[in-house]
Structure formats: C-alpha cells, structure tokens
Amino acid sequence: MTDQSESMLSRALRTVLADLPIGAAIPESRAFTGFLSVLEQFLSETLREIHPEWEFESLDGVLPALANKSASGEADLLGLCILITDQSLVPMHLRLQHANVGDTISWFDCKFGEEKDRRMIRVSWGSRNEALKRLHLPHEVERINWFYHLTYGRRRT
C-alpha cells in the first residue's frame, strides 16, 4: 500500500465517522461513497503488495451490505467487492481504525474472498442480490472460509 492511499483512507474514514455515535449504521452519503472509492484503491494496492496473483487484478467497486461505527475511530464493513477482470463478486469483512493523530490507519483487519477447494469462489454479477442477502445472516457469515486474511497494527480499546 502507498502512504498516499493510507492517508486518503484515514481522512475519508475520519469524515464518515465524525458525527456518528458508536454503534450507529453508516448512512449512504457522498462522504461514504468517497470512502468506498478510496477503500477500493487501498485494498487493491495492499493485496497486490502481498500476493503475486494480484499483479493484474484490482477491485472495481465495493457493495456494502452492513456498515457501522463500531468504536471510536473504527468502522466495521461487511459487503461484496467487484473484481475488475471479470466483474465477479467476492465477500469481504473489514474492520479498521484511524489513528488518533495524523492521517494513518492504526489498525486494519480484512477478510476477503471465500475459499473452496483452494480456489477463491467468484459469484456472478447476476447473483449479487443473493450474495448480499447472505451477508445479512450472521450464521452464514460465520461459515465463510476466508481466502485472504490481512491484518496489521494494533486496535485501540
């Protein structure tokens, strides 16, 4: 990931969470759309940095199913990501926290893609509504065998 994309993500996260109480759903807004756009870039760069198979892959969008402010400076996002190469969808569960000072992400925990038979399952765009509905069922989310798990930093409590 680049320092620039991390800085942009931190600022976007800070803006989205600014006036929300802890536990509140993050409403659709221009600021949230901007956050999702920066997140798409940040996740693509991070995956590309760590996993060689992402050299020619990227995200083309994030479709949130659930998003909320889970703690001070912290968001919890569950949704689908669009892969640019074939416009297929994969699940994502992201928790992240911006630093108290400066434009950095102090903690990041992202589970991405569902694994089956050592491959990442890709869902067609036409099945997106079914895939999004599945993410609203906690017992279904718990059963996902995540393909990637990226984490860094330390969560403030």
Give the pLDDT confidence of 88-145 residue by residue, as tens digits. Answer: 999 999 999 999 999 999 999 999 999 999 999 999 999 999 999 999 888 888 999 9
How high does pLDDT run on average in the chain? 94
Q: Are 73 and 14 in contact (CB under 8 A)?
A: yes
DSSP β-bridge partners for residue 15: none
Share of the chain above pLDDT 90, in %: 89
Say whether pLDDT at 26 is over 70. yes
DSSP β-bridge partners for residue 89: 82, 123
Alpha-carbon gap, residue 11 to 60, rounded angstroms: 21
Q: Specify the pLDDT at position 156.
A: 85
Say whether pLDDT at 1 is over 60. no
Say whether pLDDT at 61 is over 80. yes
Say whether pLDDT at 2 is over 70. no
Q: Specify the pLDDT at position 49.
A: 94
Confidence of residue 9 (pLDDT cuts 50, 70, 90): very high
